[in-house]
């Protein structure tokens, strides 16, 4: 009985190792050695808005506080003719396809609103998982100015 058991184990091990060696021989993945690492360098430079080729509009803080009641999106909807903001729902603007806080800039936008980039203090503002902005957080308390760069169209 033990001799039969030993032969079965030996046969099984032989099959396993033959499959491992067969995979190693038939592997078609080529490995390339690049030697030194590759470094990509990009330059960031500051320029005045007056020197840019884009169409831009700026609203100062006093005008934002005078025009808006709850959100900076109200000012954008009133002051920028190329922007269209969906109206608020009962619980705020909301997010996602059923949310009302969609911002369209010259026809670009969508549901969810991933076609318009919103920057707060120079940093992109969007929800991490879905990639759309969160319009309910655009209060009017600490706004210095509102800028819209609508592109060269």
pLDDT digits (tens, 9 = 90+) for 58-85: 888 888 888 877 777 778 878 887 777 7
Decide if pLDDT at 153 tops 60: no
Alpha-carbon span 47 to 115, nearest angstrom:
25
pTM of the model: 0.52
Domain 53-151, architecture per CATH: Beta Complex (2.170)
21-46 pLDDT, tens digit each: 555 555 567 777 777 777 676 667 77
pLDDT at 70: 73
Decide if pLDDT at 121 tops 70: yes
Give one DSSP letter per residue of 47-75, joined into a string: --GGGSSSEEEEEEHHHHHHH-SS-HHHH
């Amino acid at each position: 009985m033990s001799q039969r058991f030993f032969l079965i184990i030996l046969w099984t091990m032989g099959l396993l190792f033959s499959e491992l060696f067969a995979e190693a021989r038939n592997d078609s993945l080529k490995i390339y050695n690049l030697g030194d690492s590759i470094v990509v360098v990009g330059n960031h430079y500051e320029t005045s808005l007056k020197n840019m080729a884009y169409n831009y509009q700026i609203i100062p803080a006093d005008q934002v506080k005078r025009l808006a009641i709850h959100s900076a999106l109200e000012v954008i909807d009133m002051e920028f003719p190329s922007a269209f903001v969906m109206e608020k729902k009962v619980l705020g603007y909301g997010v996602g396809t059923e949310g009302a806080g969609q911002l369209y800039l010259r026809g670009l936008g969508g549901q969810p609103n991933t076609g318009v980039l919103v920057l707060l203090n120079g940093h992109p503002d969007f929800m991490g998982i879905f990639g759309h902005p969160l319009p309910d957080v655009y209060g009017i308390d600490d706004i210095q100015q509102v800028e819209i760069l609508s592109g060269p169209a």
